[in-house]
Amino acid sequence: MSNAIASPDSDIVRPGARIGFGARIDHHRGLIIAIGALIAMLIAWIALSATPVGLYDVGSLISSVTTLALVAIGQTIVVLSGGFDLSASAVLSLANVLAVRFVHGSPVEQWAGVALVVAIGGGVGLINGALIAWFRLQSIVVTLATMFMVQGLTLLIQNKPGGSVGDRFAGFVTADLIPDKLPMSAGILIAALLVWAFIRRTRFGVGLYAIGSEPDSAYANGTPVTRYRIMTYVLAGMFYALAGLYVSAQTGSADPLVGRPLLLSMFTAVVLGGTWLGGGRGGCVGTVFAAMTLMVTVNILLVLNVSAFFTTIAEAVILILAVLGSSIGKQSAAHECARHALHWFKAWRTGTRAQNGAGARRVAFEVADFKPVANTELTGRWLTDWIERNREWVKYIVPAYLLFFGVIAATGFVYGPAVLASANFYSSLLTLTLFLAILGLGQGAVILTGGLDLSVPWLITLSGVLLTGLTHGVNDAALWAVPAVLAAGLLVGLFNGIGVVVLGLPPIVVTLAANGLLQGITLIYCNGSPQGWAPPAISNFTNEHAGPLSLAAWSVPLVLIVALLLLHRTAFGRRVYAVGNSPVAAKLSGVRVGATLVAVYCLSALCSAIVGLLLAGFSSQAFLGMGDPYLLPSIAVVVVGGALITGGRGHYLGVFGGALLLTALGTLLAGTTVPPAVRDIINGLVVLAAVITLRDRKG
């Protein structure tokens, strides 16, 4: 057995080998960049500030950045292991809400409550880690599902801001470490970094880097990969809980949605701090400096009297630039930039996908542990012949429809047989199914190639806001406004596709950044308050009836036919499956992989824009956050329909069945006293159950 191990914050180094000055610089390159960026932003802040920046201002900066720094430390630990944790913000919110319930009483009881909340955060991490390690599931989809489940649980516990925490705990956290000079938050960050310094020097810490660098080699060298993966998410969950407790102490109360805005910020801090997406290199010290840089950037925007709506745009731009910067290797910057420029040009010319280091290698598709099932297409013959030829597909498609009919039967049992005999029930069911069916087409195409589109929520919102803002309820204006909105959606898809193909960035990074950009653009456009009404023509399409059903309900079969033809009877559909099964084999077969991926993201964005238009018409107006409830369902309908989350396997008939199932389930719950938050929990459970049950067990 080899004694070589992965050295923290570096590539694998031969034991006993001397590290030269240049190698040492590269060894700490991420940390140096993070510190340099912070110094540059501090200089700009001091130069632009109308009043002198003193110790009080620095202390306020540290206090305001501690929440982001703590949650980003947890995320850094996960990313170092080669994973992603989208549930971080939800765990923070859960801890924030639990604090006002458990951190009360005597000093001992208050600190016992703190320990309990931290343990609960670790428990959520334990669930994440166990699902990912034991079932070998993709970390993105597991933590996305648990994010919605935890957020739903948080809203069940407390659905609005309020409550209070114990005075002793709050007083300790908000006190000064050095009177009138340094707040206690500085001590908290120092303690967190000392804990990290201890961890990285333990066997677990070394194993963490080894797993992130080369998990197969780590396993071959005796590293308990499964146990360490679980420990990684447990430790991260504890840091998220600490961040939630800190917010409770600072504000003196709880907000069930307090963590939602931090998702983009924490990933930006992780990458800007020098941690590679894909794992194996980086550290938490750089993350803390990067978090401070982001907070100083916000202060500079305030000094310049720039609207706070630009914050998410700045974070998204910094995230993309940081990921691009982290892809530069050990060669000189000029040589590397020239090499990447030539690489990107070749990607466009040959139709391949550019690759940027370890992050693109693992995080973009995360298919190392999976062997996709080959696709079989529709034959166009009789039903029995089709079933015989597509026996494998039918096995994955049928469960969604069986569950759908089971939910329909349960609806009849709960509300009475008269409901099932009502045309209004089916009209409403099909109208709501239309939204998910369209989203399932776009998101499904992306998933079939091995990607994921997280820009869906705010693209839906922006589309609805643009429609109402441009038309103000006038049909004539819709003649040019609708094409303009759809064109804007295609531009977003082009942005995502170029980021994935030309820049070689992981899909989750590109689409998460795009979602942040769209949020900022939407807020700037409507100044935080959407105006206008949807054109009557679109409202009539989604609400008015033509016979027993609405026009939207009548259009569902048309959407089904178009989607089936597009994905299963065209050259584009064949290319999508080819790329999802093996991009390399697809390229060798003459498939223009890059062009196919760009087209897939454009299709997803176009579908999101269409749903934004329809939702605005359905409610007659647009509102902020109208797309948020559709992120998880857009993925759920695909995986529940039998698609493999890592790409290459899936059929739109299954996606459509998933749309029917989730809509019927939502309809069943809507008429009961079950709180809306329960739907997120159920959707998350459905996704996890489907991913576990339908995963590819080969390999």
Residues in contact with 21: Cβ distance below 8 Å, sequence separation at least 6, in sequence order: none
Taken in order 629, 89, 604, 582, is the CA torsion positive or negative?
A: negative
What is the per-residue pLDDT for 337? 39
- Could you read off the pLDDT of 122-156 as tens digits, one per residue? 999 999 999 999 998 889 889 999 999 999 999 99
CA distance 79 to 655: 31
Decide: 660 and 401 in contact? Cβ < 8 Å.
yes
CA distance 507 to 360: 9
Decide: 323 and 566 in contact? Cβ < 8 Å.
no
Decide: 205 and 60 in contact? Cβ < 8 Å.
no
Q: 472 in helix, strand or coil?
A: coil
What is the per-residue pLDDT for 386? 62
Nearest 10 degrees: Cα torsion 652, 657, 660, 664: -160
Other C-beta atoms closer than 10 Å to the C-beta of 555 total 20
User: How far are the Cα atoms of 260, 265, 335 from residue 277, in angstroms, in the given order?
Assistant: 21, 15, 23
DSSP states along 248-271: HHHHSSB-TTTTTTHHHHHHHHHH
What is the per-residue pLDDT for 249? 95
Decide: 555 and 336 in contact? Cβ < 8 Å.
no
By C-alpha distance, which of 591, 576, 584, 574 is closest to 350? 591
Q: 455 in helix, strand or coil?
A: coil
CA distance 245 to 395: 47
Decide: 316 and 516 in contact? Cβ < 8 Å.
yes
CA distance 120 to 101: 13
Element (H, E) at 177: strand 176-178
CA distance 563 to 561: 5
Residues in contact with 422: Cβ distance below 8 Å, sequence separation at least 6, in sequence order: none
Residues in contact with 241: Cβ distance below 8 Å, sequence separation at least 6, in sequence order: 91, 92, 94, 95, 117, 118, 120, 121, 122
By C-alpha distance, which of 259, 261, 282 is closest to 272? 282
User: Kindly report the CA angle at 607 between 507 and 638, in degrees rounded to 5?
Assistant: 65
User: In the chain, what are the domains?
Assistant: 62-262+274-284 (no CATH), 335-694 (1.10.3470)
Q: 137 in helix, strand or coil?
A: coil
CA distance 682 to 675: 11
546 pairs with which residues across the strands?
549
CA distance 580 to 448: 5
CA 149 distance to own-chain centroid: 14
- 363: which DSSP letter? I
What is the per-residue pLDDT for 687? 87
Decide: 468 and 617 in contact? Cβ < 8 Å.
no
Burial string for 668-683 (b: 16+ CB within 10 Å, else e) reads: bbeeeeeeebebbbbb
CA distance 282 to 274: 5
What is the per-residue pLDDT for 645? 85
Taken in order 445, 81, 322, 95, is the CA torsion positive or negative?
A: positive
Both tokens of 19, joined, read: 């590290």
DSSP states along 647-684: SS---HHHHHHHHHHHHHHHHHHHTSS--THHHHHHHH
The residue type of 514 is A
Decide: 200 and 80 in contact? Cβ < 8 Å.
no
Q: 312 in helix, strand or coil?
A: helix
- Could you read off the pLDDT of 170-225 as tens digits, one per residue? 999 999 888 877 899 999 999 999 999 999 999 999 999 999 988 888 888 888 99
What is the per-residue pLDDT for 442? 96
Nearest 10 degrees: Cα torsion 570, 363, 315, 38: -150
CA distance 540 to 535: 9
Burial string for 246-277 (b: 16+ CB within 10 Å, else e) reads: bbbbbbebbbbbbbbebbbbbbbbbbbbbbbb
Nearest 10 degrees: Cα torsion 84, 663, 602, 651: 90
CA distance 189 to 506: 30
12 pairs with which residues across the strands?
6
Nearest 10 degrees: Cα torsion 411, 417, 422, 424: -20
CA 442 distance to own-chain centroid: 16
The beta-strand segments (E) located in 241-383 are: none
Residue 73 burial (C-beta neighbours within 10 Å; 0-12, 13-18, 19+): buried
pTM of the model: 0.87
Q: 622 in helix, strand or coil?
A: coil
Q: Which residues of the chain have pLDDT under 50?
A: 1-17, 329-342, 344-345, 348-350, 353-380, 699
Residue 386 burial (C-beta neighbours within 10 Å; 0-12, 13-18, 19+): middle
